[in-house]
Structure 1
């Protein structure tokens, strides 16, 4: 394994060297970085041209200039990175640091959501093959995949941003709208349920009733203006999380694992009030530490409950602890929502249509956190909808292939529970083909989403690359290319190594 990784890394170095040399020279001959100065009417035009020639070392031929640039890049190993300067004289390292932050803020959440939701939808639709749910997921996936990203972005701006901001003036849902949304929810519950027809009708009715009740509650309390969770909502949501994780990890027969999850819910409720004072002074690091502490406590509780498989109890406790921490953090964000909404910079219209943050916004960690989330909301939804199709279709096809294998039929014939068949035998093997796709997509995150960045005015890696390419500015182009190439090659190696972790039959030999 070690020798294989070393060989792959050495190969990656040669690939990056050859590709970067080719790209650098192509960019250098693609245009003239002095073009705008040559047509300038400025009286000191010649001085500006000479200054740019000296700054970009244009007197040196492009192939030789590449090796000078490469020498600055290799200085990163000595702690002195030098990617050169752009046409304006700004260091490329500074441009890259700003662009990487913007890109990660924009694309990372969308990629993670697309992977989680897409894989889950694909597996569920595979288990319900040729059902109404399967056809609905297939239709929706291909619909969103076929729509242009800029058109989805425009629709989101019009109906979700502007429409929701107008709705907040009087956040009351009308009766016809309530009935329509509840009916759609009931149909979804009906399509997603299984069993006898009577049971499916009952699930549809339950979905309709719960949705209608939630909408009526939200309208009556003006929840969108003063949202809250508190103990009344954290308790049932925590119980649902504990039951769900128990079903997925161990099954309800493992009472000790269920006890670990329920115990973690009790711990979260007990800690709710004491932790509020700590969260009032929160920082990002503090939030991460609190979340990790809840997860660690869940593992301890799971091990403490014991049983024939302590690992299952530990996993249920850890996941429930994560859910409780996220619920408490979400509640704290909701407490800060009225202050954010009534801020002089927001003026009651919290969903923006452009930029990465609100200029000159004053507030604590929670206010700035809400501001970041509202700014990435629309691009995250747009990118997630577009990316869902590939993950859902690949996971569905992979799951269907696995479920028809002989060892799955053998497991069922031996009396293994359906949960164990799906989660232990099929799901893990279904992830093997997805490992390459997911790893490559994560590696491509750093490259940004150029069209989405343009529409929502994010100054990310995609925008930096296109602007530099249009201006024949090789140094920023090479900086973006190098970072993207390193990420792609690294995660390609990670995908290969994941095969051996997911499938014991696969072993990487030296």
Structure 2
């Protein structure tokens, strides 16, 4: 393992240096820092051009300039953007921070939704649900991202902001949404006709009850989770995770999940006091998240049993969800002042923050969430289609293997066959694809960032290239190339951890 990492890192460093040299030469040939002066009518035009040539060291050979730049980078000096006179390090720090927010949210959501829906689609092959997902995935995959972004601006931002002026949904619309939700769930769960009708009725009724609660409680004016929704969502998560991880017949895992929900409910009010009495930062939230996962894991360990590991993992997953719900509830509590500060139109269509907003940590988080909403949905819709297709085809291939038939022949429950034997092997192709996709997004979702005017990595690259600033362009290329090399190494390690047939030290 160690020798593999050393070999790959050395090969990656060599590749990085060669790639940066080639890109420096190509970028230098593509840009012209003197273009504005060549068209100038100033009487001292030649003097201005000579001063800029001296300032940017343009009379030095490009090879020498590359090694000068590379040597400065090794000492931590990324240079200066000569038009704005800002340090490149500061530009990169802000750009990559904005992009990482977008990439993290979009990647997690698209992976969870895409893989889950793709696997269910494969298990329901040739059903109505499968055909619907195939049609939807091909439709989304073929849509240009800029068109999706513009539609979201019009309907999800402007339309929703208009809705919030008078947040009332017609009961006929709620009924229609409930019927569609019931149909989707009945097709996804499958089974005999009686079971499908049962799932349809329960899902439609639950959806109708949820929207009725939102309508009658004035939730749109003052959104919050609160203890009641926390109990409902937590219990539902506990049942779902127990069913997936261990099966509902595993009482220890089920009791672990439900106990974790109860602990979360008990700690709901004390956590409100804690959040109000301390200066909250992202680091503190991360510490709370780690502690929550640890508590859930400990609850599973205390229940014991020969398969305590399954219980511990179930408790940790439920604890993470409960902690996330409490965190979201705390963010929602600052919605009324945020709503008023933005004149009743809280969903923005551009930028990554509201200028001169002010407020505490929670207001900043809510502002970041609202600015992330539209670009994240845009990227999720496109990536969801790809991950759905990958996971569906991979699951179909895995479920036709001999070891799956052997597992079934041994009498193992279908949940065990799918989750323990099928799901893990389904992730093998994704282990190669996902790290590369993440780096591609970090490199800049250029079109999405342009439509929503997010000052991320893609916009930094395009703007610097247009302004003929080679230092920011090379700083961008250095980061993206380095991350691409790391992503390939991480993909190999993940691939080996998922597939025991792969040995890194071979």
Shorter-normalised TM-score: what interval? over 0.9
Report the Cα offset of residue 103 of structure 1. 1.1
Contact 2:103/2:438 (8 A) holds in 1: no
> Counterparts of 2:107 and 2:82 in 1: how far apart (Å)?
30
> Counterparts of 1:169 and 1:338 in 2: how far apart (Å)?
13
Contact 1:443/1:490 (8 A) holds in 2: no
| Equivalent residue number for residue 8 of structure 1 | 8
Q: Does 1:99 align with 2:78?
A: no
Q: Does 1:301 align with 2:264?
A: no
Q: Does 1:247 align with 2:243?
A: yes
Taking structure 1 as the reference length, what is the TM-score of the superposition?
0.96
Q: Does 1:156 align with 2:152?
A: yes
Q: Which moved more, 1:43-52 or 1:63-72?
A: 43-52
| Equivalent residue number for residue 287 of structure 2 | 289
Q: How is 1:475-494 mapped onto 2 (pairs within 5 angstroms)?
A: 475-494=471-490
> Counterparts of 1:410 and 1:440 in 2: how far apart (Å)?
34
Contact 1:251/1:419 (8 A) holds in 2: yes
Q: Which moved more, 1:183-192 or 1:480-489?
A: 183-192
Matched length: 504
Change (3 A) 1:58 1:114: same
Q: Which of the numbers 375, 378, 381 marks the counterpart of 1:382?
A: 378
Report the Cα offset of residue 297 of structure 1. 0.8
Query: 1:142-193: per-residue Cα shift (whole Å, max 9, x none)?
Result: 1111111111111111111111111111111012322221222122122112
Query: 1:350-383: per-residue Cα shift (whole Å, max 9, x none)?
Result: 0011111111102111111111000110000001
Q: Which moved more, 1:56-65 or 1:175-184?
A: 175-184
| Equivalent residue number for residue 322 of structure 1 | 320
Q: Does 1:198 align with 2:194?
A: yes
Q: Which moved more, 1:96-105 or 1:280-289?
A: 280-289
Taking structure 2 as the reference length, what is the TM-score of the superposition?
0.96
> Counterparts of 1:261 and 1:170 in 2: how far apart (Å)?
39
Report the Cα offset of residue 336 of structure 1. 1.4
Q: How is 1:58-137 mapped onto 2 (pairs within 5 angstroms)?
A: 58-75=58-75, 80-137=76-133
> Counterparts of 2:45 and 2:457 in 1: how far apart (Å)?
31
Q: Does 1:36 align with 2:32?
A: no
Contact 1:55/1:89 (8 A) holds in 2: no
Contact 1:86/1:92 (8 A) holds in 2: no
Report the Cα offset of residue 84 of structure 1. 4.7
Report the Cα offset of residue 40 of structure 1. 2.6
Q: Which residues of structure 2 form unaligned runs of 5+?
A: none
| Equivalent residue number for residue 310 of structure 1 | 308
SS of the equivalent of 2:427 reads helix
> Counterparts of 2:478 and 2:126 in 1: how far apart (Å)?
45
SS of the equivalent of 1:342 reads helix
Q: CA RMSD in A?
A: 1.5
Contact 1:453/1:460 (8 A) holds in 2: yes
> Counterparts of 1:85 and 1:470 in 2: how far apart (Å)?
12
| Equivalent residue number for residue 178 of structure 1 | 174
